[in-house]
Amino acid sequence: MTAPDALTPPSDLRVLVTAGAAGIGKAIAEGFAAVGAKVHISDVDADAVKAICTGEITGTVADAADEAATRNLFGEAREILGGLDVVVANAGIEGPTGPVSDISAEDWDKTLDINLRGAYIAARFASDDLIKSRGSFIGIASVAGRLPFAYRTPYAASKWGIVGLAKSLASELGPQGVRANAILPGIVEGPRIDRVINARAERLGLTYDEMRKRNLEKVALRRMVSPHDIAAMCLFLNTPGGSNITGQALSVCAGVETL
C-alpha cells in the first residue's frame, strides 16, 4: 500500500456525528462527506439540521442527552445508511464559568448530561453496529481532559470522563475489532470560544482582547486551531494508516501547555 492510499479513508464509510450541524461537528460531517462517506448527523437546532442536509448528509433533530431521542437517532441512521462504521460523539456545551462554590448542581448536571452522558449514550447505542462493522468510535473531548481548568470544573470533569470512556471502550471492544479514541481540541476558533473568553475575562476583570492574549500565551504555536483541524484527525483515524490507533487521547491543540 502506498502512503497516499494509507492516508485515504474508504469511500463507503457510514458515519454518524452528534451535534453535527455547526462548529466542529459540521466540519467533521462535511469532511467525511467530501471523501465520499455517507453521513448522518444530529443536532438540537432544527433549522441548522435542515441547512446541512444536502447530498450525502442526512440528519435527525435530537438532544444528545435524551436517551429516547438518541435511540430514535440511531434507528434512523441505520435505516438510511444501512449500518454504521464510524460514530463521533461530538455534542457538548461549555458549561458555567466560576469558582466551584458558585456552580449550582443544576449547571453541573446539565454540563455532565450533555457532554459525558451524551457520549455514553452514543457509545451504548453504537456498540452493536461497530462490532458488526469492526468500526471506530471517537469522543470529542478537550485539552481540558488532560489539564486542570480552574473555574471550569464541570466542563473539565466531563472531558476527562470522555477520555476515560474512550480508553475503556478501546479495551472492552478491541477484541471484537472496534477502535475507540478521544480527540482533544485546543482553543478552537468560533462563537463558543468567544463566549468562554468573554466569561473568563469578566470573572478576572479583563477585556476580551487581554484574555485572548493570555490564553494564546499558553499555546506553543500562539494560535487557535480550526474545526477543520479536528475533522482532519477524525478522517485520519479512519484511514488504513490509522487502523492501529486505539485507546488514545490525541491532542489537536497547537501545543496548549496550561489552561
Catalytic residue list contains 155: yes
Query: Which residue(s) pair with 14 in the sheet?
Result: 38
Please report where in the chains the cell 454518524 appears, as a residue.
16
Distance of CA 258 to the CA centre of its chain: 21
SS percent in the chain: helix, strand, coil, step 5: 50, 15, 35
Residue of 120, 151, 155, 208 marked catalytic: 155
To the nearest 10°, report the CA torsion of 16, 22, 27, 28: -20
Phi, psi of 60 (to 5 degrees): -135, 135
Cα separation values, 76 from 49, 90, 178, Å: 14, 18, 22
Catalytic residues, which ones? 155
